[in-house]
Amino acid sequence: MISSETKHMQNYINGKWVDAKSGKQEVIPNPATGETIATVTISDVEDVDMAVAAAKEVFPEWSDTPVPNRTRYLLDYWKLLQDNKQELAKIITLENGKSLRDAQGEVQRGIEVVELATSTPSMMMGDALPSIAKGIDGSIWRYPLGVVAGITPFNFPMMVPLWMFPLAIACGNTFVLKTSERTPILAERLVELFYEAGFPKGVLNLVHGGKEVVNRFLTHPDIEAISFVGSEPVAKHVYQTGTAHGKRVQALAGAKNHAVVMPDCDMEKTIQGVIGAAFGSSGERCMACSVVAVVDDIADEFLEQLVKETNKLRVGDGMDDANFIGPVIRESHKERVLRYIDSGVEEGAHLLVDGRKIKEDTPDGYYVGATIFDHVTQEMKIWQDEIFAPVLSVVRVSDLEEGIQVTNQSKFANGAVIYTNSGKSAQQFRNRIDAGMIGVNVNVPAPMAFFSFAGNKASFYGDLGTNGKDGVQFYTRKKVVTERWF
Ligand code: NAD
């Protein structure tokens, strides 16, 4: 039901909150209760064109603003985000469903990217070499690209947009952001605080909507580069179409992250780590642990304790600290997950913990409990596909060699973790595993903002990841100057 209390999310174009010209809107439910909490305007080509025009108009002035002045606005933005941490975390839990503790973690990780972007003056510096020949100097200079577009997923409404626009804008670009139409509320707050920090209008524009907005970005002649984060099929489409239209594209995609558990691991810490990585944020993380390859020698003991600890997890509204697992994002996603659990049973995996049965009273939200399958094989869909839910598959392997081989057969290669006390095993794992982000006794090996973030294989389309030095390179183009003066 849409009541007068329901918030309405609009686009932000050239310093004004406006509805999409289409007049279309979608309803946003609270995934914990099913109740309508907001409506969001749904944009079309015309709205994108207006936002890009606003960003293009302000680009000459913004790119000409001295780099230290540009980043000084970010210091104020950083402070505003800090001052509003609690409110931001609550919005994330409200619209996404993850527990408040997970949401607070996300807010912190987002703020850390703003911190990174405040060092743009150092990071954007070029190189110079005097006297490359008699009387000739050589140097490299970095310049912004122009208008950049960002497209983000529902699962990190704060952190992922902040991977993009603070650094892009500090580098002198102007930006059009399209966050997930399923989580538009936090996006509004990010934009409000951005302008409270004093940025000139038009530098950041927000356009709500779905694939019509994305597809216009991909062909728009005035968009120079696109940062995308989302599922694999869409990432591939964005990369292929965007690059075919001459744009620079980084497209971070889906995942199926594996952990290899060695007999010499610290059993208790490993179990707590796997539980956090597999079931935290309801498994809706691109770095979630979704497969554990456990070495036979300890498999029975590991599973016995894993099941015992998993059965203690409470499921329910993320606003209540007692609940570890919140809802998944939508009813349709819940149904998809339940179909995967059914398929795992049909394919012959052993269902040790059944998330279809939830002990707590959770009437109208979109809940799936923690689920563990044992004896999973690579032929099963539950091993192959990204389920994006608190569903963990366990594969039994004879040794590290087989654990590495199994992991590398996944089409995805975002993150991978080894639990061991052997430096030799960790070294072998690091050298031979395909994944772009590796953890050694670290449960969710998401790099800090000063390192770059990206996977390999079908988890990433592009060359330069987000954040760190990669981020600065992605948002700038180089000019190499060879100069002689008479
Ligand atoms: P999604 O692909 O459904 O949506 C991502 C964005 O693309 C949204 O803004 C959406 O509006 C748009 N979109 C959706 N369908 C489209 C289509 N057919 N054509 C054009 N645009 C379209 O992803 P999601 O469900 O919002 O997010 C979850 C996915 O994102 C998971 O696969 C997860 O692994 C991935 N993810 C990856 C990373 C990473 O760093 N690799 C980080 C976070 C999330």
What's the gap in Å between 452 CA and the centre of ligand 1?
Answer: 19
Give the span between the Cα atoms of 309 and 446, in whole angstroms: 24
User: Which residue has a Cα nearest atom 40 of ligand 1?
Assistant: 252
pLDDT tens per residue, range 230-266? 999 999 999 999 999 999 999 999 999 999 999 999 9
CB atoms within 10 A of CB 450: 15
Pocket of ligand 1 contains residue 74 by CB under 6 Å: no
Kindly report the average pLDDT of the chain as a whole number: 97
Residue 92 contacts by C-beta under 8 Å, 6 or more apart in sequence? 98, 103, 106, 107, 157, 158, 183, 186
Largest CA distance in the chain: 83
Mapped onto helix, strand or coil, the DSSP state of residue 252 is strand
Pocket of ligand 1 contains residue 234 by CB under 6 Å: yes
User: Which residue has a Cα nearest atom 7 of ligand 1?
Assistant: 230
What's the gap in Å between 157 CA and the centre of ligand 1?
Answer: 12
Q: Is residue 57 a known part of a binding site?
A: no
163 contacts 453 by C-beta, under 8 angstroms: yes
User: Which residue has a Cα nearest atom 16 of ligand 1?
Assistant: 211
Pocket of ligand 1 contains residue 181 by CB under 6 Å: yes
Give the span between the Cα atoms of 59 and 65, in whole angstroms: 10
Quick check: 480 pLDDT over 60?
A: yes
Mapped onto helix, strand or coil, the DSSP state of residue 134 is coil
* pLDDT at residue 374, as a whole number: 98
What's the gap in Å between 208 CA and the centre of ligand 1?
Answer: 14
Calculate the CA dihedral of residues 116, 120, 122, 123 and round it to 10 degrees. Answer: 80
Q: Output the 3-class SS for 52-98.
A: HHHHHHHHHHHHHCCHHHHHHHHHHHHHHHHHCHHHHHHHHHHHHCC
Give the span between the Cα atoms of 56 and 224, in whole angstroms: 10
* pLDDT at residue 328, as a whole number: 98
CB half-sphere exposure, 262, CA atoms < 13 A:
19
Calculate the CA dihedral of residues 279, 282, 283, 284 and round it to 10 degrees. Answer: -160
Ligand 1 atom with the shortest distance to the CA of 156: 43
Ligand 1 atom with the shortest distance to the CA of 253: 41
Quick check: 270 pLDDT over 70?
A: yes
Pocket of ligand 1 contains residue 255 by CB under 6 Å: yes
**Residue to mutate (ligand 1; options 26, 231, 290; most atoms within 8 A of CB):** 231
Pocket of ligand 1 contains residue 151 by CB under 6 Å: yes
278 contacts 285 by C-beta, under 8 angstroms: no
pLDDT-based confidence at residue 2 (cuts at 50, 70, 90): low
Ligand 1 atom with the shortest distance to the CA of 230: 30
Token duo for residue 33: 């209760």
Ligand 1 atom with the shortest distance to the CA of 286: 34
Give the span between the Cα atoms of 252 and 243, in whole angstroms: 15
417's enclosing H/E stretch is strand 415-419
Token duo for residue 180: 């997930």
CB atoms within 10 A of CB 71: 22
Pocket of ligand 1 contains residue 11 by CB under 6 Å: no
Q: Is residue 430 a known part of a binding site?
A: no
Q: Is residue 386 a known part of a binding site?
A: yes
**Residue to mutate (ligand 1; options 95, 155, 437, 466; most atoms within 8 A of CB):** 155
pLDDT tens per residue, range 209-228? 999 999 999 999 999 999 99
Q: Give me the active site residues, please.
A: 286
- From the list 255, 118, 103, the residue with the least C-alpha distance to 183 is 103
* pLDDT at residue 3, as a whole number: 62
Angle at CA of residue 270, ends 268 and 272, nearest 5°: 70
CB atoms within 10 A of CB 49: 15
Pocket of ligand 1 contains residue 34 by CB under 6 Å: no
Mapped onto helix, strand or coil, the DSSP state of residue 421 is coil
Quick check: 170 pLDDT over 70?
A: yes
Strand runs (DSSP E) across 232-307, as ranges? 248-252, 257-261, 289-295
Q: State ipTM.
A: 0.99
What's the gap in Å between 141 CA and the centre of ligand 1?
Answer: 34
pLDDT-based confidence at residue 424 (cuts at 50, 70, 90): very high
Ligand 1 atom with the shortest distance to the CA of 235: 2
222 contacts 147 by C-beta, under 8 angstroms: yes
Token duo for residue 233: 């099929």
User: Which residue has a Cα nearest atom 9 of ligand 1?
Assistant: 180
- From the list 146, 153, 198, 213, the residue with the least C-alpha distance to 175 is 146
What's the gap in Å between 414 CA and the centre of ligand 1?
Answer: 15
Rg (CA), the chain: 23
252 contacts 229 by C-beta, under 8 angstroms: yes
Q: What region does 23 belong to: left with phi over 0, alpha with psi -120 to 50, or beta? A: left
- In this prediction, residues 91-105 reach a mean pLDDT of 98
* pLDDT at residue 362, as a whole number: 79
Q: Is residue 154 a known part of a binding site?
A: yes
Give the span between the Cα atoms of 380 and 233, in whole angstroms: 20
- In this prediction, residues 8-21 reach a mean pLDDT of 98
pLDDT tens per residue, range 289-334? 999 999 999 999 999 999 999 999 999 999 999 999 999 999 999 9
Give the span between the Cα atoms of 470 and 468, in whole angstroms: 5
Q: Give Cα 358 to chain centroid, integer Å.
A: 28
User: Which residue has a Cα nearest atom 30 of ligand 1?
Assistant: 230
Angle at CA of residue 108, ends 105 and 114, nearest 5°: 150
What's the gap in Å between 462 CA and the centre of ligand 1?
Answer: 16
What's the gap in Å between 352 CA and the centre of ligand 1?
Answer: 30
pLDDT tens per residue, range 440-477? 999 999 999 999 999 999 999 999 999 999 999 999 99
Angle at CA of residue 146, ends 223 and 478, nearest 5°: 115
Strand order of the sheet with strand 16-18? 16-18, 11-13, 204-206, 174-178, 147-151, 223-229, 248-252, 460-461
Q: What region does 131 belong to: left with phi over 0, alpha with psi -120 to 50, or beta? A: left
| Residue 332, strand partner residues | none
Pocket of ligand 1 contains residue 414 by CB under 6 Å: yes
Pocket of ligand 1 contains residue 253 by CB under 6 Å: yes
pLDDT tens per residue, range 360-380? 887 799 999 999 999 999 999
Quick check: 1 pLDDT over 90?
A: no
Pocket of ligand 1 contains residue 47 by CB under 6 Å: no
- In this prediction, residues 127-151 reach a mean pLDDT of 98
Pocket of ligand 1 contains residue 214 by CB under 6 Å: yes
DSSP secondary structure string, 434-484? --SEEEES-SS-PPPTTS-B--EETTEESSS-BSHHHHHHHTEEEEEEEEE
